[in-house]
Amino acid sequence: MNQTNQWHYAIEAVSFCMSTADEATVTTTEEVWDVVSDLPPSAKLIVKVLEYNGTLTQAALADKSRLSPRTVRHALTELDATGVVDAEISLADARQQLYSLTVEP
């Protein structure tokens, strides 16, 4: 095996480890609450609102939770980093994203 192939395999191994380490796999509602327990109260409220209402935009989350848009944005960032929420582009308005829990309540 030449040195180029060795580097190629090393880079693949590192990228695989990084991708699996960054992606949290939350599969049950109990795991969601275990992950969320260390987050701020605003993130917990966003999870509850998504649990009751399903998929919502950031503006709808701010309206239903009565949190400021800045607080909702920060909570969604933290929830996305932990793998609790999914974001997808809205088909009705491509400027907005739709947020939902990664597991069904």
Structure tokens at 19: 């991708």
Q: Which CATH number fits domain 26-101: 3.40.30.10, 1.10.10.10, 1.20.1050.10, 3.30.300.20?
A: 1.10.10.10
d(CA 5, CA 42): 48
pTM (2 decimals)? 0.71
pLDDT averaged over the chain? 80
**Residue 34: pLDDT above 70?**
yes
d(CA 37, CA 30): 11
pLDDT in tens, 60-103: 999 999 999 999 999 999 999 999 999 999 999 999 999 999 88
pLDDT of residue 15: 43
Scan for tokens 């009565």, then name that residue: 66
pLDDT of residue 59: 96
d(CA 13, CA 97): 33
The full set of domain ranges for the chain reads 26-101
